[in-house]
Structure 1
Amino acid sequence: MDEITPRALTASEIEYMGELLEDLTNLRDSLCSMAAHPPFSLNELDSGYRISAENLLHYLALRRQDIRLLQQRLVTLGFSSLGRSESCVLPTLDIIIRTLSLLLGQPLKADCGETSTITIQDGPLLLLQHSKELLGATPESRNVRIMVTMPTESAQDPSIIRDLLKAGMNCMRINCAHDDPETWLEMINNLQTAKEEFGQSCQVFMDLGGPKIRTGEIEPGPHVVHVHPKRNEYGITVFPARILLVPEGSSAPEISDNQTVFGVPKSFLQKLKRFDEIRLLDARHKSRKWTVVEVSDFGCRVESIKTCYVVPGTPLQLKEKQRPKITAKITSVPKQPGFIVLRQGDCLVVTADSNAGHSKHLDTQGNLVTPATISCTMPEVVSQVHPGESVWFDDGKIGGVIEKVETDRFWVKIQHARPEGSKLRAGKGMNLPDSQLNVSSLTPTDISHLTFIAKHADAVQMSFVNSAHDVTLLDEALSRVKGDHLGIVLKIETRRGFENLPSMLLTAMRRPKVGVMIARGDLAVECGYERLAEVQEEILSVCEAAHVPVIWATQVLENLAQKGMPSRAEISDAVMAHRAECVMLNKGPHVIEALGVLDSILKRMEQHQTKKRALLRALRLAQNGR
């Protein structure tokens, strides 16, 4: 084959490349200049993160500028567009500058006052090393770990954790907002037993509850219980309603979800026997019949094949031929949890007191007498908000704007709710994304949990972290309980936390093991659902520049874990999760199945892509055209 002689560059090409080389050199100079004055000496950081901190500062300097036109010019010459330079900013620039200089026959220009301390290969390797130190060794079959939140039942049933570990769980998450230290210890002991059985590793992550703002108590609903059997599509009863009758004033035994408990006089219960029929007139004056199916020391169980509405005082009569008739009345019914129905245009008053909330009150003409009112679990925030700021309830299902603020309350005009009205219940999350709240991310309860965490966990996850000061508070608190060995994970779930991520990362790098969790539930509410994709993209990029592993969390395969059937949208979402170093599944009845599906997705995707870089493996589809 004839040898091909490369052609000489034209004058216009030389000019084009010369201008590009000058622009790249100026860009590099500006990066070094902007990154030359960090907020504190990098010598204060852990030795394993100093190079990473330098690279982060260069990346932040790069992203303060719009270089899209420069990227297009690089691509026309076949160079890197800098779109994959997160983990090694200066080395990527240096290679392009050096190549252009050689092509133009120009001497290499002296570097600016700073030379690159890492190579293009070092950046990804540092991320892998830091991920291993925090999350444990990578599984043999995939690079992305899977974290699973523990249900309460896993403390008493060792098979749950055993099955999760066998199915591919790499990290256990214990949510300290639930259960207690005794329950957590049982979970950890069950994990240790399973690890020894399978010879597998699994890190323990404990999640601090943090200052979650929630709605306060609401006045209970009407004292009426809707008892209804299960029916099929044709309205035919396939499973009767189950009712437990207990002596009035006694505490009911543990019951199942589909069973209702009513109190009745003890003397009436003593006269009941199996297969007896109890007649009653319900709250709608409908005649109904209950059949006794079991009699025991704590009361009796009855069944109903028809719907009935029961209130205190509902009359009961034992069907017997003898006289006098044996009668009684329902003395107590379960309290029905209250709720407030809110529609667009409604007013909701949020108070700092602890009084139970209530729905709006109208007069006989339908005029508003008192607006709907609800308290919040952190009364100190009530005086810190301002008119015009937004407020969201129940994971963004209800939203509005603050119209007026007083010392002990503020008024919200509801702007986002279902047309037929949305129900707001007690204990639901409240987000104030526009408000600058003076609230510590480390609560007294969190601090009390740190002693247990330092003794039993591998890492602690900080909820609602908003600033570098919050990170410092956690660092100091861990030192007091001898928890310096623990890794820390910053949960990004507020707008302030997202905006302050770079400074929080630099502060956290004083410790040898650092991670970030994208807590997408609250984060979506705080930043807006339409911005979530953009926000999580920025978090992934900044963390890669810092060589800090990311945990992709909240509602991953949620329908599959809860209901056993995934949606197409959440499968696509799980596919995107492979760009993180760890993916978190929440608890649910079908979490084992969800774990298997996620494991399969991650294994398949890492053959096609790593981070943002496509991997061109041979495609089966490409063979079909031969």
Structure 2
Amino acid sequence: MTTNPVNKNTYLQDAVVDGVLRELMDIRAEMIAETLACQLRIDQVRGNNRDSARNLLHYLALRRRDLRPLQLKLAALGLSSLGRAESHVLATIDAVLEVLHRLTGQAWMPPAQESTVVDFAAGERLLADHSDCLLGAAANGRGVRIMVTMPSEAAEDYSLIHNLLEQGMDCMRINCAHDDSVAWAQMIAHLQQAERALSRTCRVVMDLAGPKLRTGPLDPRLAVLRIRPTHDDHGRLSAPARVWLTAESQQTAPHSPANASLLLPAEWLSRLFLGEQLKFTDARGAKRNLTVVDITEQGYWAEATQSAYIVPGTVFNHERKVAHADDRQATINLLPQAENAILLKQDDLLILTRDLAPGRPATYDSSGQLLTPAMIGCSIPEIFDDVRAGEPIWFDDGKIGGVIDRVEFAQVMVRITHVRPRGEKLRGDKGINLPESRLRMGALTPKDIEDLAFVVENADVIELSFANTAADVELLHEHMARLGDRRPAIVLKIETRRAFENLPTMLLAAMRAPCCGVMIARGDLAVECGFERLAEVQEEILWICEAAHVPVIWATQVLETLAKEGMPSRAEITDAAMGDRAECVMINKGPHVLSAVRVLDDILRRMQQHQAKKRAMLRELRLAHTLTIQQPVIDECTLTDIII
């Protein structure tokens, strides 16, 4: 007896549908059980955030299993593969279940006490409402807001803030790691003035500095000032070095660029005349001279046609003779101290010290053998109690990597494992990351607690730096409560591996406030999680936050080359376009920040027509009209070749 292929296919199809239906029912049961088990957490969340908290818990339950085989089966049946379920998880599951029940001839009605609260429209509306609450209303034609970090000069330069607001800035960010409350107040006053002038509004966002781990100072090098003229490829002089001469007692800056500046006695300078040759012997014993080319009320310009090295004690002589020999001479007493650096190479040993005594490079004997390893201090010595041998350590945004070799009370020995082949220079005040160490550092430092009084009174949004646990968020709530009834919104800066791992619990703690958000601080996060994992990590943060209906700020190095140098790289333009996945994109300060805001505004407006979160927006595609529908004329031979 032969089997009818049609009946066999129908049987297989029914089996697939039944299997998918059972699996989805199991997933749904797990989601409901999750919310029941976490009811206490939900009750602690602010009332307007409870539906979002349930949706977050539903999403976490959904993502605890590998959904890829199920997704393929759903796609083959022509059903939703759950790829856009973040903001309305239970509604998505129920919609698919309803279709599957109909395919099997069964009735489907979810229990009344489990009825879907966050449906498809409500999920998107909640995220939009929370974004408006945190970041202000979106600009016309651009749903993603633009945040700009203020430079110190914004306290003095009203026009900078006015122009930024005019170009499209939606949030003004003040980093409390820099300047002081006087400067912050002036920046805010400038913003309020610009808002009135332009009839626009802008959120004030203040970033608490947090416990930033940094390297300590280094011993300065002996100050040496090099005067170097410009030569062409053949070694011929193409431009002399421009040297600014100014009085020790009343220093003035030159009005145009100088290759070097020298401080000399005012009375000695007053005797200079145009064309005079100032003679001196440099640090190498070479006889050199400077030619005076201009005399102004502020200072004197001289030119050098040969390279020279100036150190404290270098003596300059007038060309012409005067009555007393002492009047002909002037001595350089002061030069700016040069910044020191430690050159580290593969397998070098670096000593990280508990105190902040100035560090120094390694020393070697006459045969090149190591005498004393390089050493440098650490800004937060308490971490020495938490680190262990074998744990990785990174310096300067991941430029230098090492492994902790040994831990002692006063110092930690680090073996360098990751540097460029020619080595890398480590300087003072550079970041330190310990991604696998369980550091017992709170997110709020004494300075942060002191700054909070001003921040709570003046900011619309507080950014909590280096928040790693729900306890850090709760501590911020407590300090804010002690400062009065005003409640700025809270943004959690996710910049460590530990913060990423604790994101769900931190979100539930932050949702006790009426309004909260998350910043993906991609600089430290890349070092903590590994550069190769950054794309994956930021995707996961976007998914989790969308499930909680929490706005996301996309930050760190967005259009950085454009903001600093005036010309963007191709890669950062693509990166800025990906920021459309978030609710806000942050640009850091730079000389060309106005151009960066203008370009970002244009990119985000264009991308809005093509993408909303993970969903492609299929607007009319102009490229689809470029193909001419016309039969080509081909001969019989060509047609035969095509058929073959």
Cα shift at 1:276: 3.1
Contact 1:350 1:382 (C-alpha < 8 Å) held by counterparts: no
Contact kept? 2:280, 2:289, Cα under 8 Å: yes
- Does 346-355 or 320-329 show the bigger shift? 320-329
Look up the SS of the partner of 2:513 in the other structure: coil
SS at match of 1:88: helix
Which whole-Å deviations, capped at 9, do the CAs of 1:17-53 have from their partners, x for residues lacking one? Answer: 1221111111111222233212834222111110000
**Cα distance in 1 between the residues matched to 2:153 and 2:243:** 24
| Residue equivalent to 1:368 | 370
**Which position in structure 2 is the counterpart of 1:476?**
478
* Separation of aligned partners in 1, 2:390 and 2:457: 46
1:215/1:428 contact within 8 Å kept: yes
Name the structure 1 match of 2:242. Answer: 241
For 1:139, the aligned partner's letter is A
- Structure 2 Cα separation of the partners of residues 208 and 586 of structure 1: 16
Q: Name the SS for the 2:575 alignment partner.
A: helix
Change beyond 3 A, Cα 1:523–1:483: farther
* Secondary structure in structure 1 of the residue aligned to 2:94: helix
Q: How does 1:117-516 map to 2 (within 5 A)?
A: 117-229=117-229, 236-238=237-239, 240-247=241-248, 250=249, 252-253=251-252, 258=258, 260-265=260-265, 268-292=268-292, 300-320=300-320, 326-482=328-484, 484-516=486-518
What is the identity, as a one-letter code, of the residue corresponding to 2:556? T
Alpha-carbon distance between aligned partners in 2 of 1:392 and 1:252, rounded to the nearest angstrom: 41
Q: What amino acid maps onto 1:213 in structure 2? A: L
CA distance, structure 2, for counterparts of residue 15 and residue 263 of structure 1: 90
Deviation at 1:112, TM superposition (A): 9.6
Q: Provide the secondary structure at the position in 1 that maps to 2:472.
A: helix
- Name the structure 2 match of 1:53: 53
Contact 1:237 1:305 in 2 (8 A): no
Deviation at 1:268, TM superposition (A): 3.1
Q: In terms of mean alpha carbon deviation, does 26-35 or 293-302 score higher?
A: 293-302
Structure 2, gaps ≥5 residues long: 1-6, 630-644
Distance 1:373 1:162, change over 3 A: same
Tell me the residue number matched to 1:561.
563
- The match for 2:537 is 535
Partners of 1:476 and 1:314 in 2: CA distance: 60
Equivalent-residue separation in structure 1 for 2:415 and 2:575 (angstroms): 34
| Farther-moved stretch of structure 1 (96-105 vs 478-487) | 478-487
Contact 2:229 2:237 in 1 (8 A): no
Query: Matched residue of 1:475: which SS?
Result: helix
Moved over 6 A (4+): 231-235, 296-299
1:384 to partner: Cα distance: 1.8
Q: In the aligned structure 2, how far is the partner of 1:231 from the partner of 1:148?
A: 41
How many residues align? The count is: 618
Give the Cα separation in 2 of the matches to 1:129 and 1:533: 27
- Note if 1:88 corresponds to 2:88: yes
Whole-angstrom CA distance in 1 between matches of 2:229 and 2:480:
53
Q: How far 1:242 moved relative to its partner?
A: 2.8
The Cα of 1:259 is off from its aligned counterpart by: 5.8
CA contact (8 A) 2:457 2:486 kept: no
Contact 1:241 1:305 in 2 (8 A): no
How far off its partner does 1:254 sit? 5.2
Q: What displacement does 1:407 show?
A: 0.6
Whole-angstrom distance in 1 between the partners of 2:565 and 2:500? 32
The amino acid across from 2:356 in the alignment is S
SS at match of 2:394: strand
Distance 1:349 1:335, change over 3 A: same
Task: Give 1:183 deviation, angstroms.
Answer: 0.8
Call closer, same or farther: CA 1:108–1:409 in 2, change over 3 Å. Answer: same
Q: Distance in 2 between matches of 1:36 and 1:173?
A: 39
**Worse-superposed segment, 294-303 or 417-426:** 294-303
8 Å contact kept, 1:468–1:507 = yes
Aligned amino acid, residue 151 of structure 2: P
Cα separation, 2, equivalents of 1:575 and 1:258? 40
Match of 1:114 in 2: 114
Show the counterpart of 1:64: 64
| Alpha-carbon distance between aligned partners in 2 of 1:213 and 1:39, rounded to the nearest angstrom | 38
| Per-residue Cα deviation, 1:160-202 (whole angstroms, up to 9, x for no partner) | 0111111111110011111111111111111111111111111
Q: Does the aligned pair in 2 maintain the 1:350–1:373 contact within 8 Å?
A: yes
Cα distance in 2 between the residues matched to 1:460 and 1:519: 15
- Contact 2:41–2:508 (Cα < 8 Å) also in 1: no
Tell me if the contact between 2:195 and 2:201 (Cα under 8 Å) persists in the aligned partners: yes
Structure 1 SS opposite 2:40: coil
Corresponding residue for residue 3 of structure 1: none
Q: What does residue 552 of structure 2 align with?
A: 550
Kept after mapping to 1: 8 A contact 2:396/2:431: yes
Match in the other structure for 2:638: none
Identify the residue that residue 579 of structure 1 maps to in structure 2: 581
Q: Residue 10 of structure 1: SS of its match in structure 2?
A: helix
- Note if contact 1:264-1:332 (Cα within 8 Å) is conserved in structure 2: no
Paired AA for residue 512 in structure 2: R
> 528-537 or 432-441, which moves further after superposition?
432-441
Deviation at 1:290, TM superposition (A): 1.9
Cα gap change, 1:343/1:551 in structure 2, threshold over 3 Å: closer, same or farther? same
- Do 1:228 and 1:306's aligned partners in 2 also have CA atoms closer than 8 Å? yes
Q: CA deviation at 1:111?
A: 4.1
Q: Distance in 1 between matches of 2:42 and 2:213?
A: 36
Residue by residue over 1:566-625, the C-alpha shift from the partner in whole angstroms, topping out at 9 and shown as x without a partner, is 111111111111000000000111111111111111111111110000111111111112
User: Structure 1 pair 499/231, CA: closer, same or farther in 2 (3 Å)?
Assistant: farther
Task: With the length of structure 1 as denominator, give the TM-score of the two structures.
Answer: 0.94
Per-residue CA deviations over 1:445-486 (Å, capped at 9, x if unaligned) read 111111111221111101111000000111111111126420
Aligned to 2:633: none
1:20 paired residue number: 20
The Cα RMSD (Å) is 2.2
CA contact (8 A) 1:214 1:428 kept: yes
DSSP 3-state at the match of 2:624: helix
What runs of 5+ residues in structure 1 fail to find an aligned partner? 1-6
Asked if the contact 1:560/1:590 (under 8 Å) is kept, the reply is: yes
TM-fit CA distance, 1:327: 2.2
Q: Given residue 104 of structure 1, which amino acid in structure 2 is its aligned partner?
A: T
Deviations 1:528-560 (A, max 9, x none): 100000000000000000000000000001111
> Is the CA contact (8 Å cut-off) linking 2:242 and 2:301 kept in structure 1?
no
CA 1:368–1:39: 2 relative to 1, 3 Å = farther
CA distance 1:199–1:8, change in 2 (3 Å): farther
The letter of the residue matching 2:217 is E
Q: Give the drift of 1:76.
A: 0.4
Task: Measure, in 1, the Cα distance between the counterparts of 2:196 and 2:604.
Answer: 26
Q: Partners of 1:238 and 1:160 in 2: how far apart?
A: 35
Q: Which moved more, 1:510-519 or 1:383-392?
A: 383-392
- Identity of aligned pairs, percent? 48
Question: Secondary structure of 1:354's match?
Answer: coil
Q: Deviation per CA, 1:129-176: give whole Å up to 9, x if none.
A: 000000000101210000001111111111101111111111100111
Amino acid at match of 1:337: E
Which residue does the alignment assign to 2:527?
525
